[in-house]
Chain A
């Protein structure tokens, strides 16, 4: 069965960086794009960016441009999202979400369990 298993919760200080991993299994990793979405408590999901798992091409939301980096390790079938210069407003649950296709415009059909990132001094 298709699974996306994310790394555990993280507590970071303001100004630090966090890197969340997403281990994919049950499907051909290089055939599907991977997106990253975050959700603050009581808020709507917020899209951060995506990576074409086949060629590594990335696209980021302008809101996070310069602070977010999405990468992947095809041999480990794992995707990563790193967010730098953390501030209190970045406290949220971060999700990886598989796109229903390899690139371009597809909905998100499988989601990781979420990783809670807390930013506190």
Chain B
């Protein structure tokens, strides 16, 4: 099973600032099958990034993903009020599909 470890656990930032979230895998993620999701309280996760760097439909270009192998990054270039939420990485290249423990981006 691939274990995903996200850091930091919480990121305290102000609107307009840049957010950098990390996801490290316990073993290489095949074909960079790594996704990022955003989740707000009481809602289902929302797909942001797939294939490590591809933006899902309707996702603004302030969200970008990078990385390969075992190290991946989600960057939000300029935080907007709607971006304060919990973010999860997920690998979908092998079974079981696994999620990281999440990074909470909160308003400073």
Contacts and interface: CB of A to CB of B under 8 A. Distances in A.
B10 interface: no
Contacts of B88: 44-45
B31 to A, nearest CB: 7
B90 A107 contact: yes
B35 A111 contact: no
B93 interface: yes
Contact of B47 (A45, A61, A109, A114): A109
Nearest to B54: A107
Secondary structure dominating the interface of A: loop
Q: How large is the interface on B (under 10, 10 to 19, 20 to 34, 35 or more residues)?
A: 20 to 34
A111 B44 contact: yes
Contacts of A107: 33, 35, 47, 50-51, 56, 90, 92
A105 interface: yes
Interface residues of A, number: 21
B23 to A, nearest CB: 12
Given A100-B50, A108-B47, A44 B99 contact: yes
Contact of B44 (A35, A61, A112): A112
A3 B81 CA distance: 26
A94 to B, nearest CB: 11
Nearest to A64: B96
B101 A44 contact: yes
Contacts of A109: 47, 50, 56-57
A113 B100 contact: no
Interface in A87-121: 95, 97, 100, 105-109, 111-114
Contacts of A82: none
Contact of B99 (A47, A61, A100, A105): A47
A91 to B, nearest CB: 16
Contacts of B37: 45, 108
Contacts of A63: 96
